[in-house]
Amino acid sequence: MQADPLDGTSELVRLVTCGSVDDGKSTLIGRLLYDTKQIFADQLEHVEETSRRRGDGYVNLALLTDGLRAEREQGITIDVAYRAFTTPRRRFQLADAPGHVQYTRNMVTGASTADLAIILVDARHGVVEQTRRHASISALLGIRHLLVAVNKMDLVGYDESRFRAVADALAELGARLEAPDMVAIPIAALHGDNVAERSEAMPWYDGPTLLEHLETVEIGGDRNLAEGRFPVQWVIRPMSAEHPDYRGYAGRVAGGVWRAGDEVVVLPSGRRSRVAAVETLDGPVAAAGPPMSVTIRLEDDLDVARGDMLAHAGAPPTVTRRLDATVCWMSERPLVPGARYAVKHTTRMVRAAVDEVVDRLDLETLEHLGGADRLELNDIGTVRLRLSGPLAVDAYRQSRATGCFIIVDEATNDTVGAGIVVEATPD
């Protein structure tokens, strides 16, 4: 427990969990919540009672995590759920992506904001197609840290050689995906082995428990401090007696460290100025990095509006009307060449026409399947888009926040796709 509960200075770590149905994901999450004492007496009572009624024969911690009525009735999970838990050092935000229908769509949603992915594997089955899918989506979405929980070790007699075999297969997968950090941990979520408590049944394992790993993995370095990027969200112009001439550009730092004096270029116009001040409600700050929400004032009175991007003049993003992007399709209505959509990139909306589906990806074999005439729901592929106006973009692998966009169907207003800029190509 935190010594001082009012001391709000833990580090926030965002997680996504994924696994095929029955790998034990709900049990693991329930176990994490339980072992880190996030579960209140009334919640536990409720779970005990429901377990009894269902005839589970044990307190089914998996029930702690199931949400909607439809899910309870069918005993399945249908949508991404978000949960919080804390340890003395860290505050975790967990996106739980269910593992079957709508799979890719849910996983992409959960993974898009994650620092670390927990991928569940059943020790009896080892690396299966789904594992490859989960790992490749995680890697595609730029998650640097993959933790593979090899679960149900009790069902393989806590056997070291079984774990080693799975870990070896994982290492090979990690190498293929160029995953910078991938670890495998043998656990039994149902009994708590190596989740928060070291397992007595697996004395041969000398690595960290799952929770130890979550608490210590270094994520601070993942922030993009290199490319200075600041999409303007909102222009603050009080025009009041007190602040007659104030003009501040409010937004969230997408990259780089921002200070007064920085030389900036405003995109897409290309006009230049300098940062006069970086401010918050509490006054000017010496520096601000991602993902801080701040207000930037410029030395010159330029015409800057929502949707413009301020960038450090030395290394600006690419301004383009063409996107070559990997798109995850999230709608029942397929994406087809010739279709038109709206695209939201940072704070800017433009229209887009699909020129070509260049490539479709087989997420299980990681093979490129070549050109296609469409992307169906849950497909991932490379698409060439022509834009109605310029966007200032970076390759996603360089800068997550300025390399991603969503696709909106203007007829239904639905979000139908998530896109990642592969290569920022000027037109």
Partner 1 sequence: MTTLTHLDALESEAVHVMREVAAELERPVLLFSGGKDSIVLLRLAEKAFRPGGFPFPVMHVDTGHNFPEVLAFRDRRVAELGERLIVASVQESIDCGRVVEETGPRASRNRLQTTTLLDAIEEHGFDAAIGGARRDEERARAKERIFSFRDDFGQWEPRAQRPEVWDLYNGRIRRGEHVRVFPISNWTELDVWQYIAREGLEIPPIYFAHEREVFARDGMLYAASEHVELADGEEAFLASVRYRTVGDMTCTGAVPSEARTLTEVVHEIAASRVTERGQTRADDRFTEAAMEDRKRIGYF
Ligand X SMILES: Nc1nc2c(ncn2[C@@H]2O[C@H](COP(=O)(O)OP(=O)(O)O)[C@@H](O)[C@H]2O)c(=O)[nH]1
Residues that bind ligand X (CB under 6 A): 19, 21-27, 62, 151-152, 154-155, 188-190
Site string for partner 1, 91-130 (x = CB under 8 A): x-x-----------xx-xx--xx-----------------
Residues 126-165 that bind partner 1 (CB under 8 A): none
Q: Is 52 in the site for partner 1 (CB under 8 A)?
A: no
Q: Is 229 in the site for partner 1 (CB under 8 A)?
A: no
In our burial notation (b when 16+ CB lie closer than 10 A, e otherwise), range 95-130 reads bbbbbeebbbbbbbbbbbebbbbbbbbbbeebbeeb
The answer to whether 278 and 288 have CB atoms below 8 angstroms apart is yes
Q: How far is the CB of 98 from ligand X (least distance, A)?
A: 8
| CB nearer to ligand X: pick between 65 and 320 | 65
- Binding-site partner at residue 222 among ligand X, partner 1, none, CB < 5 to 8 Å by type: none
Token reading at 137: 């989506």
- Binding-site partner at residue 155 among ligand X, partner 1, none, CB < 5 to 8 Å by type: ligand X
| CB nearer to partner 1: pick between 204 and 234 | 234
Q: Which member of 15, 80, 311, 335 binds partner 1 (CB under 8 A)? A: 80
Angle at 344 between CA 232 and CA 274, to 5 degrees: 20
| CB nearer to partner 1: pick between 268 and 419 | 419
- Neighbour count for residue 277 (Cβ, 10 Å): 17
| CB nearer to partner 1: pick between 190 and 401 | 401
Which amino acid is residue 249, in one-letter code? Y
Site string for partner 1, 401-420 (x = CB under 8 A): x--xxx-x----xxx--x--
Phi and psi at residue 5, in whole multiples of 5°?
-65, -15
Q: How far is the CB of 142 from partner 1 (least distance, A)?
A: 10
The C-alpha atoms of residue 418 and residue 116 are separated, in whole angstroms, by 19
The C-alpha atoms of residue 203 and residue 183 are separated, in whole angstroms, by 18
| CB nearer to ligand X: pick between 75 and 314 | 75
Q: Is 304 in the site for partner 1 (CB under 8 A)?
A: no
Site string for partner 1, 235-264 (x = CB under 8 A): -xxx-x-xx--x-x-xxx----x-------
Number of residues forming the site for partner 1 (CB under 8 A) = 79
Q: Is 53 in the site for partner 1 (CB under 8 A)?
A: no
The answer to whether 120 and 19 have CB atoms below 8 angstroms apart is yes
Q: Which member of 35, 66, 193, 324 binds partner 1 (CB under 8 A)? A: 66
Q: Which member of 55, 57, 220, 270 binds partner 1 (CB under 8 A)? A: 220
